[in-house]
């Protein structure tokens, strides 16, 4: 879509200007060539305008949503570079306003900042440039369309999934214990001559079925979710989800809890129990429960893996235990955790995992390897008193800060981070300063106190 009057100066008005390029695609399932296609069209536009694209300032973000700036390293790096003096480039080219982002509350301050830095912006597909007197109004118009498109796509997907569920198919994704089997039309053909797919159904996976039954049986006997996860990891049983970045698939306490509370295993498909909500501050996507009145329940007896007796026995044991995977470990997660100043900032030498408080109920909490305590994927059983460890680390950190070189590094890094456009508050800068200071202490001569 384009609007009349989007271009004022015409092509070729700024010969010889140095240009940077940004490209993005949002979904993991999209083709990687989308980036190449965007860069190619941006390059063609630069040639028509007489601009010179600097290859060292081509940035892109793969599989990153435009609804948030969190994780958009490519774009944020270009913004930081634009603020340098002298400027490393004069023009920033986007394929379209939607590639820049789909959230006006994020994009407008960022666009204003780039213009303040003296950077000319050009959006190829919209034929829109920041030298246009109507640029801001037009950008808001395009941005509203981009936001609306994103929300409408989400609504349409949800509507389609609900229809599939009501027709007896699955809504999306896969569930441990089953195989996804497409239900094809025996007569009607679809794209490329392939049979038309009416939907996808579950078929019980015999190997995973044994693991599911075993997990329910162990829970019914009183074995905790943590011990179930450790047992499965010790025996090398693949977890439901693939490991990130090629890492091993491991069981976690939350994985076991979700398995033990999934009604599909007793032949009941409950859809729309939760919805995705994005935290506008952190960009994190959270799963928030929906009212029970919005649930869609469909009986699927052919999916049953667990008997009613075993199901109720396991649920009775689970009711006596409380678990919240988002509140374990880390600094500033609760009033008490604010006392654990090094929790999550240290690493276990054997496995590379985080060192957290693993025993908090005692009078003197203990630091230890998170992976050993909760997943059983590390053999490092060493635990250290909070008082002893923090006493040694703080003493070493104080001694290291006497060095002028280290103080200079801290001050320079602190100032650099405060200038970043996404560090908007003093509180955020203070938190960064604390984590950075702890990091310097860890990298210095206080290694003797590390676990």
Residue range 103-146, pLDDT digits in tens:
999 999 999 999 999 999 999 999 999 999 999 999 999 999 99
Residue 168 lies in a domain: no
Closest listed residue to residue 84, CA positions, set 109, 118, 60: 118
For residue 193, being part of any structural domain is answered with: no
φ/ψ bin of 57: left (φ > 0), alpha (ψ from -120 to 50), beta (otherwise)? alpha
Q: Which domain holds residue 80?
A: 18-149
The rounded distance, in Å, linking the Cα atoms of 279 and 276 is 10
Share of the chain above pLDDT 90, in %: 51
What's residue 29's pLDDT? Answer: 57
341 and 291 within one domain: no
Same domain, yes or no: 241 and 345: no
Co-location of 313 and 343 in the same domain: no
Q: Give the model's pLDDT for residue 319.
A: 77
Mean pLDDT of 309-328: 74
The more confident residue out of 392 and 307 is 307
Looking at the fold, whether 307 and 375 belong to one and the same domain comes out as no
Q: Mean pLDDT lowest for which of 300-309, 310-319, 442-451?
A: 442-451
295 and 319 share one domain: yes
345 or 12, which is more confident? 345
129 and 223, same domain (yes or no): no
Domain match, 311 and 355 both: no
Domain boundary among 323, 350, 373: 323
Q: Are 329 and 366 in contact (CB under 8 A)?
A: no
Phi/psi of residue 12, nearest 5 degrees: 75, 20
For the stretch 340-376, pLDDT in tens is 878 878 899 888 888 888 887 777 888 999 888 888 8
Torsion 231-235-238-242 (CA) sign: positive
Mean of all residue pLDDT scores within the chain: 83
Residue 162 maps to a domain = no
The domain that contains 272 carries what CATH number? 3.90.1750.20
Q: Is 2 domain-assigned?
A: no
Is the same domain home to 291 and 402? no
- pLDDT at position 377 is 84
| Helical segments of 223-367, H only | 225-234, 253-260, 308-318
Q: Over range 420-432, report the average pLDDT.
A: 44
**Looking at the domain assignment, is residue 244 inside a domain?**
yes
- Regarding whether 137 and 79 lie in a shared domain, the answer is yes
What is the reported pLDDT for 197? 87
Pair (294, 353) in one structural domain: no
Q: For residue 329, is it within any domain? A: no
Residue range 230-283, pLDDT digits in tens: 999 999 998 887 655 556 688 988 899 999 999 999 999 999 999 888 887 777
Count up the domains in the chain and report the number. 3
In terms of domains, do 131 and 24 share one?
A: yes
3-state secondary structure of 372: helix
Q: What is the pLDDT of residue 22?
A: 97
Distance CA 280, CA 124 (A): 28
Residue 158 forms part of a structural domain: no
Residue 384 in any domain: the answer is yes
**Distances in whole angstroms, Cα of residue 30 to Cα of each of 63, 93, 285:** 8, 22, 20
Same domain, yes or no: 380 and 275: no
| pLDDT exceeds cutoff 70 at 401 | yes
86 preceded by a cis bond (ω within 30 of 0) = yes
């Amino acid at each position: 879509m384009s609007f009349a009057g989007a271009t004022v100066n015409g092509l070729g008005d700024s010969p010889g200007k140095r240009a940077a390029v940004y490209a993005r695609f949002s979904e993991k399932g999209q083709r990687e060539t989308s980036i190449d296609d965007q860069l190619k069209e941006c390059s063609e536009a630069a040639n028509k305008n007489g601009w010179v694209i600097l290859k060292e300032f081509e940035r892109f973000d793969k599989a990153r949503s435009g609804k948030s700036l969190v994780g958009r390293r490519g774009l944020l790096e270009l913004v930081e570079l634009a603020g340098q003096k002298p400027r490393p480039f004069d023009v920033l080219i986007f394929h379209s306003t939607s590639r820049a982002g789909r959230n006006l509350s994020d994009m407008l301050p960022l666009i204003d900042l780039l213009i303040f830095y003296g950077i000319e912006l050009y959006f190829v597909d919209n034929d829109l440039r920041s030298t246009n007197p109507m640029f801001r109004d037009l950008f808001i118009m395009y941005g509203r369309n981009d936001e609306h498109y994103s929300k409408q796509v989400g609504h349409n997907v949800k509507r389609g999934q609900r229809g599939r569920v009501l027709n007896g198919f699955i809504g999306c994704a896969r569930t441990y214990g089953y195989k996804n089997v497409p239900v094809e039309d025996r007569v009607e053909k679809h794209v490329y001559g392939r049979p038309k797919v009416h939907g996808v159904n579950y078929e019980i996976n015999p190997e995973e079925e044994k693991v599911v039954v075993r997990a329910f049986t162990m829970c019914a006997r009183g074995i905790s979710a943590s011990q179930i996860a450790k047992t499965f990891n010790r025996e090398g049983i693949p977890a439901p989800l693939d490991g990130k970045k090629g890492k091993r698939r491991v069981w976690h306490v939350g994985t076991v809890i979700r398995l033990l509370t999934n009604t599909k295993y007793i032949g009941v498909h409950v859809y729309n129990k939760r919805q995705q909500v994005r935290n506008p501050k952190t960009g994190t996507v959270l799963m928030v429960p929906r009212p029970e009145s919005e649930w869609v329940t469909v009986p699927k007896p052919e999916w049953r893996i667990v008997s009613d007796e075993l199901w109720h026995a396991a649920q009775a044991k689970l009711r006596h235990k409380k678990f919240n995977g988002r509140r374990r470990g880390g600094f500033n997660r609760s009033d008490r955790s604010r006392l654990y100043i090094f929790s999550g900032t240290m690493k276990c030498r054997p496995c590379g995992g985080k060192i957290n408080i693993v025993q908090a109920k005692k009078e003197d909490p203990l630091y230890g390897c998170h992976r050993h305590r909760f997943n059983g994927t590390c053999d490092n059983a060493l635990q250290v008193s909070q008082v002893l460890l923090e006493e040694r680390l703080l003493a070493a950190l104080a001694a290291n800060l006497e060095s002028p070189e280290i103080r200079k590094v801290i001050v320079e890094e602190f100032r650099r981070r405060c200038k970043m456009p996404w560090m908007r508050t003093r509180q955020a800068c203070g938190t960064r300063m604390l984590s950075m200071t702890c990091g310097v202490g860890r990298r210095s001569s206080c290694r003797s106190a590390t676990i």
